Amino acid sequence: MQLRPPFRAEHIGSLLRPPRLLELRARAGDVGQDELAREEDRAIRDALALQERVGLKLATDGEFRRRSYHSFFYQQLGDIRIDVVDDSGRGKASGRGPQPVAVIGSRVQWKHPIHVADYDYIRAHTSLLPKLTIPGPCVLHFRGGDAAILRSAYRDIDQFWDDIVQAFVDELEALARDGCRYVQIDETAFAKFGDPEVQAWLKVRGDDWQSLIDSYIAVTNRVLERAPASLSIGMHLCRGNRGGQHHAEGSYDIVAEKLFNALNIRFYFLEYDSARAGSFAPLRFVPRDKAIVLGLVSTKTPALERREALKKRVDEAAQFVELDRLAVSPQCGFASVDTGNPLSPRDQEAKLRLVVELAEEIWGET
């Protein structure tokens, strides 16, 4: 029986926000913080009940206290924003959404625990293992590059990276001291490097995408080297997930060998719900001491996948990584930003239940 993460049936973190919570957020100027907090608490308790009901062994708070998967965390580290978006030249017809952009107005500095209270609330209201999701240490740079960092806040890129590493180590240590044992890092850049359009976008701003792969692995490893040993830390990768749209296309081929061998992560959550992700062949580089969670179920569409088709895909992946080191999940969260993806709470529950039933059928456990 699987006693530590990753579990056979996983989910990535964010869940659809209830309409009442979105309504209160939209009226932020007219609603007191106490009223908003009470509604967040109520919504999180319902989300925890959902995760228990479908049979998961882990639980997140649905990221209900955040506007997006990354914005809240980085806002706590200074005058920093990531959600500035340029919508020009983008339409829903292509399915490719606009890339968020980072604005960095101050040095990065950890001043207080960011998600300890979130962990405490999950722990107090469920018997499932609390899972905390945090953005990766390279998200800020990927969204802005050297130019955004050196524009006003820094004169030295190395100092920026030192500050990033220290901030993440401080937060991980705070979580571990409080009893947290399971953390997921959302570092989507690695899944996007294989997209020629992303490569061209990085080149225009002065970044060599091939060098960034090595830099991002080195920075992440600096964090992991200092992370508490009591934490099980996995990394989630995807190609963008905003309102049912994506930010990138392309397989893992270009990054696979370094991603799975040079990066000191024990398990990976990989988007694999569509042809955008390519084949399972890059999994041949996964070493025998690492595990892969296959993100086979889409959170971008309400269509419910067929269980037999998913089982076939797991069998295909098992040609490269033995079945005992595989698990299954949705490909991403259901609401990477608070407005969510175009599916209903009923669709969401059906997909989570499907993941659990699939795991039970394949491995006899969740």
pLDDT tens digits along 115-148:
999 999 999 999 999 999 999 999 999 998 999 9
Q: Tell me the two tokens of residue 132.
A: 């905390």
- Return phi, psi of residue 174, to 5°: -65, -40
Please tell me the distance from the alpha carbon of residue 160 to that of residue 38, in angstroms, as a whole number: 37
**CA 201 to CA 347: how far, in whole Å?**
35
Phi-psi region of 179 (alpha: psi -120 to 50; beta: other; left: phi over 0): left
| Domain architecture of the chain: domains with CATH | 19-363 (3.20.20.210)
Can you give the pLDDT at residue 238? 87
Tokens at 296, concatenated: 């086979």
Residue 185: the pLDDT is 97
pLDDT-derived band at 28, boundaries 50, 70, 90: confident
Coil vs helix vs strand at 125 = helix
Q: What would the pLDDT profile of 244-263 be if each residue is shown by its tens digit? A: 555 567 789 999 999 999 99
232 has a pLDDT exceeding 50: yes
Report residue 241's pLDDT band, with 50, 70 and 90 as the boundaries.
low
State mean pLDDT over 333-348: 93
Q: For residue 26, what pLDDT band results from cuts at 50, 70 and 90?
A: confident
CA distances from 146 to 154, 155, 192, 336 (A): 9, 10, 18, 25
pLDDT: which is higher, 352 or 249: 352
Q: Longest C-alpha distance within the chain, in Å?
A: 56
Q: With a cut of 90, say whether residue 335 has pLDDT above it.
A: yes
Q: What is the pLDDT of residues 150-180, one digit of tens each?
A: 999 999 999 999 999 999 999 999 999 999 9
As a three-state string, the secondary structure of 297-338 is: ECCCCCCCCCHHHHHHHHHHHCCCCCHHHEEEEECCCCCCEC
The length of the chain, given as a count of residues: 366
Work out the pLDDT band at 101, boundaries 50, 70, 90.
confident
The answer to whether 137 touches 181, Cβ cutoff 8 Å, is no
Q: What is the mean pLDDT of the chain?
A: 92
Q: Can you give the pLDDT at residue 250?
A: 73
| pLDDT tens digits for range 257-296 | 999 999 999 999 999 998 888 899 999 999 999 999 999 9
Using a 10 angstrom Cβ sphere, with 0-12 exposed, 13-18 middle and 19 or more buried, the burial of residue 211 is: exposed
CA 297/CA 330 separation, integer angstroms: 4
Distance separating alpha carbons of residues 133 and 1, to the nearest angstrom: 24
- pLDDT higher for 85 or 13? 13
For the chain, what is the radius of gyration of the CA atoms? 19
pLDDT tier, 4 (very low <50, low <70, confident <90, very high otherwise):
confident
Host H or E run for residue 346: helix 345-363
> pLDDT by residue (tens digit) across 68-77?
877 899 999 9
96 phi, psi to nearest 5 deg = -100, 115
- Say which residues have a Cβ less than 8 Å from residue 186's Cβ, sequence separation at least 6: 12, 13, 69, 70, 133, 134, 135, 136, 139, 235, 236
Q: What is the pLDDT of residue 91?
A: 47
3-state secondary structure of 242: strand
Please say whether the beta carbons of 320 and 354 come within 8 A.
Answer: no
